A and B are shown apart, each in its own frame.
Chain A
Amino acid sequence: MSDLRSRYTVFIVDDDLSVRDSLSLILSLKGFRNATFACAEDFMKALQPDWSGCVVADLKMPGMSGLELQQTLASRVPPLPMIIISAHGDVASSRVAFKADAVDFLEKPFDDEQIVQAIELAMNRLHDRESDLQARQRREAGLARLSTREREVMQLLGEGLQNRAVAEQLGLSPRTVEVHKARVLAKLGIRNVAELVRLVDATD
């Protein structure tokens, strides 16, 4: 868990100096890397493509609001999970926030436990997405390295045919098919035919 705390940054966007400062202090003490911004515009100006982490933003700020910031960041890759904090949380805004996939919507004043929990949830989510992304990237790289024959074998195996049937269809010996299958699995970094079937389904 603590490796996530150091891997990701918490971006605090709040127009109230004391809220910003105190939140930053408590998060630092709990081992979260963090950065503070007085308004959404400042954050957007500073934001770098390789920054990765979650955003804790106030709902009501002069200029761009927390919800508007959420909309602006919605299509970003890698994603920046949002936690909205608000001094006058109303059902309508929290609905909008959750529909746009906010991790949490906290009403001020909140407990440090609450915000830490929300941030950890956001980081786990971020971590899962990144792992997924990495796995997919690995697979795509693997697919690119397959030979034509290996790709044919993979396709037929993925459709659920047995080794023997594949061999017959491609005019190969079952043993050769076995060798190709082993190479496909190795290059794609997967363990068994079941995963292969799922992969082929997904890529079709």
Chain B
Amino acid sequence: MAFTIPVRALVAFVCAYPLLDWISYTHPMAHFNITPWNPQPALAIALLMTYGQRWLPAVTLVIAITEQLIRDTATPWQIDITAALVLGLCYGAMAQALTQQFRISPRLDALRDVLRLIGIVILGSLLTGTLYVGTLVAGNAGPAVQFPEALLRFWIGDGVGMLVFLPMTLMLADDARRRQLAAMLFKPETLLQATFIVATLLFIFGQNLAEQVKFFYLLFLPLVWVSVRSGLLGSAVAALLIQTGIIIAVHITGQTPLSVFELQTFLIALTVMGLFLGVTVDEREQAELALRKSQKLAAAGQMAAALTHELSQPLTALANYARAGQLLVIADSPDRSQLEETMNKLVAESRRTADVVRRLRDFLQHGAMRMEQADLVALLENSVARLQDAAAAENTMLKCHVPAGPLPVTIDTLQIEIVLRNLLRNAIDAACDNPAEPREVHASIACDSAREVTVSIVDSGRGIQRGQSEQIFEPFETTKARGMGMGLAVSRAIIEAHRGRLWAEDGGKAGTLRFTLPIGDIDHE
């Protein structure tokens, strides 16, 4: 087995463990040295989970040294060593349970994992407390009568420490989560949320001692906000911030150890709620992402099927023309005009084939759509202008009604051009199908909402039969004499990839198709 020493992680652990212990060494309970928050065990567990149990002796050594350095060491050294051994073994067992028994992912992106993590922390800290306090009582370091209270305080202190620190530390060990954290910290909203948390803490600790606990529930508000917006990572960071704030406030306002324990009990409830809410938000987002991906895949599949069909036509013709050319060469007639004509047709068909392949490639590449800022008004005007000749040839008026000035949208210009061309061509054909005069096609843009813009193409055709407005989007569904009936299927796939909608108005006298595009930046994964 390859064996590398995680130098950076070890150095970080050796520095951070005593440092955290030192910072959090406040309001200790007499004789037992039990503090109301104990974040450092999370570091030990995270290290063992990430790098394996072979570091358990080293971790235990660090624990033992730290205890000697920081704690009030009136107790005999044998007891201190035994207590450090108990702590090391218990943290090792918890790490073992989390990685080997439950195989939770350090990314913590499933509710199941978070549930198990919380369960192990709560049971594990109870067990650790029982053994640790028991060791001290057995070694006469503390009075036996205080066993229940000491156990409760240990349980809460270790429990809250691990609940706040362990998810955070684990996520920091994961690359994707680290990137997510960096992105989150640079969002303006994060600053706002942090300000809200600090303000709430200031308000709570501005009250007199008796009132403080009463207002503690206010902290749920910013925590819910952060969890809903940023998921588990957000709630872990928020819980850490709240814990830090509480400790600072407790130092400044000079609380009794008892009231600090009360606050910490609240913090447990707060943190557990935040973790659950955060992971639920994460899971929902993952499900949404998976759904969107599968939709995109389905659209690409639909497109591929449609284009395969369209490829087989020119391929058939190509084979025939090529064979005909061969026969004409063999016949060796002095008149070369037919051979020449056949060869020209062959070239034309191969161009048609290449065109289909190009379209397929353009579409399949939409996983990496080339999103750019474009002016929808100019785009529509250009598309309409390009089809004026075709419309005039069919005696159709093609008119464009657009708002003045540019309308910036973030789109793949090429693909939206395809959609506009498809829809406008369809509309011209539909207008021609109707013998009624005058033949007209109207293209218009409406910005009736701040979030999206609607493009409408209305023709003077017979309209879409009631109940048919969905059917026309099926591939190969066509009412036209030409074309394969895939234009609308492809157009819808493109618009949906842009997070818009494309639909046909059901019934009605005129044919109406509309699509929406979101305004402003849209993030594409």
Q: Which residues of A approach B to under 8 Å, CB–CB? A: 15-16, 18-19, 21-23, 25-26, 29-30, 38-39, 60, 62-63, 85, 87-88, 107-112
The proximity string for B residues 313-336 relative to A, scoring 1 for CB distances below 8 Å and 0 otherwise, is: 111111111011001100100000
Contacts of B314 in A (CB 8 A): 18
Q: Among the listed B315, B327, B481, which residue makes an inter-chain contact with A109, where contact means beta carbons less than 8 Å apart?
A: B315
Is the Cβ of A22 less than 8 Å from the Cβ of B481? no
Is the Cβ of A63 less than 8 Å from the Cβ of B320? no
Is the Cβ of A18 less than 8 Å from the Cβ of B349? yes
Contacts of A16 in B (CB 8 A): 313, 317
Contacts of B327 in A (CB 8 A): 26, 29-30
- A108-B481 contact given A22-B324, A22-B345, CB 8 Å threshold: no
Contacts of A23 in B (CB 8 A): 316, 320
Q: Kindly state the separation between the CA atoms of A22 and B313 in the bound complex, as whole angstroms.
A: 11
Contacts of A39 in B (CB 8 A): 481
Q: Kindly state the separation between the CA atoms of A202 and B480 in the bound complex, as whole angstroms.
A: 51
- A108-B321 contact given A15-B481, A30-B327, A63-B481, CB 8 Å threshold: no
In the complex, which residue of chain A has the Cβ closest to the Cβ of B348? A18
Is the Cβ of B313 less than 8 Å from the Cβ of A25? no
Contacts of A111 in B (CB 8 A): 319
Q: Among the listed B328, B345, B352, B476, which residue makes an inter-chain contact with A29, where contact means beta carbons less than 8 Å apart?
A: B328
Q: Kindly state the separation between the CA atoms of A88 and B312 in the bound complex, as whole angstroms.
A: 9
Q: Kindly state the separation between the CA atoms of A60 and B478 in the bound complex, as whole angstroms.
A: 10
Q: Among the listed A18, A62, A63, A112, which residue makes an inter-chain contact with B313, where contact means beta carbons less than 8 Å apart?
A: A18
Contacts of B308 in A (CB 8 A): 88
Q: Kindly state the separation between the CA atoms of A18 and B350 in the bound complex, as whole angstroms.
A: 11
Q: Kindly state the separation between the CA atoms of A130 and B466 in the bound complex, as whole angstroms.
A: 49
Contacts of A60 in B (CB 8 A): 476
Scoring A22, A29, A62 by chain B CB atoms within 10 A of each residue's CB, the highest score goes to: A22
Contact of B499 with A by CB under 8 A? no
Is the Cβ of B319 less than 8 Å from the Cβ of A87? no
Q: Kindly state the separation between the CA atoms of A22 and B341 in the bound complex, as whole angstroms.
A: 11
Is the Cβ of A18 less than 8 Å from the Cβ of B317? yes
Q: Among the listed A21, A63, A88, A110, which residue makes an inter-chain contact with B476, where contact means beta carbons less than 8 Å apart?
A: A88
Contact of B342 with A by CB under 8 A? yes
Is the Cβ of A112 less than 8 Å from the Cβ of B323? yes
Contacts of B214 in A (CB 8 A): none
Contact of B479 with A by CB under 8 A? yes
B481 smallest CB distance to A (angstroms): 5
Q: Kindly state the separation between the CA atoms of A103 and B324 in the bound complex, as whole angstroms.
A: 24
Is the Cβ of B319 less than 8 Å from the Cβ of A109? yes
In the complex, which residue of chain A has the Cβ closest to the Cβ of B327? A29
Contact of B284 with A by CB under 8 A? no
Closest 10 CB pairs of A and B: A22-B320, A18-B317, A109-B315, A87-B312, A108-B312, A22-B317, A109-B316, A108-B316, A29-B327, A26-B320
Contact of B309 with A by CB under 8 A? yes
A105 smallest CB distance to B (angstroms): 14
Interface of A, helix, strand, loop or mixed by DSSP: loop
Contacts of A109 in B (CB 8 A): 312, 315-316, 318-319
Is the Cβ of B316 less than 8 Å from the Cβ of A62? no
B311 smallest CB distance to A (angstroms): 8
Contacts of A110 in B (CB 8 A): 316, 319
B313 smallest CB distance to A (angstroms): 5
Q: Kindly state the separation between the CA atoms of A62 and B484 in the bound complex, as whole angstroms.
A: 9
- A87-B345 contact given A15-B482, A22-B320, A62-B478, CB 8 Å threshold: no
Q: Kindly state the separation between the CA atoms of A15 and B485 in the bound complex, as whole angstroms.
A: 13
Contacts of A112 in B (CB 8 A): 319-320, 323
The proximity string for B residues 469-480 relative to A, scoring 1 for CB distances below 8 Å and 0 otherwise, is: 000000010111
A185 smallest CB distance to B (angstroms): 49
In the complex, which residue of chain B has the Cβ closest to the Cβ of A63? B481
In the complex, which residue of chain B has the Cβ closest to the Cβ of A112? B323
A20 smallest CB distance to B (angstroms): 9
B522 smallest CB distance to A (angstroms): 35
Q: Kindly state the separation between the CA atoms of A23 and B319 in the bound complex, as whole angstroms.
A: 9
B96 smallest CB distance to A (angstroms): 57
In the complex, which residue of chain A has the Cβ closest to the Cβ of B479? A62
B337 smallest CB distance to A (angstroms): 13
Q: Kindly state the separation between the CA atoms of A29 and B320 in the bound complex, as whole angstroms.
A: 11
Is the Cβ of A108 less than 8 Å from the Cβ of B315? yes
Q: Kindly state the separation between the CA atoms of A24 and B319 in the bound complex, as whole angstroms.
A: 13
A-B contact pairs, 22 of them (CB 8 A): A15-B482, A16-B313, A18-B313, A18-B348, A19-B317, A22-B320, A22-B321, A25-B320, A25-B321, A25-B342, A26-B323, A26-B327, A39-B481, A60-B476, A62-B481, A85-B316, A107-B312, A108-B316, A109-B316, A109-B318, A109-B319, A112-B320
Besides A22-B321, A25-B320, A108-B316, 17 other A-B contacts (C-beta < 8 A)? A15-B481, A15-B482, A19-B317, A19-B320, A22-B320, A22-B345, A23-B320, A26-B320, A26-B321, A26-B324, A29-B324, A29-B327, A29-B328, A39-B481, A62-B480, A108-B313, A109-B316
A114 smallest CB distance to B (angstroms): 10
Q: Kindly state the separation between the CA atoms of A87 and B356 in the bound complex, as whole angstroms.
A: 15
Contacts of A22 in B (CB 8 A): 316-318, 320-321, 324, 345, 349
Contacts of B348 in A (CB 8 A): 18
In the complex, which residue of chain B has the Cβ closest to the Cβ of A30? B327
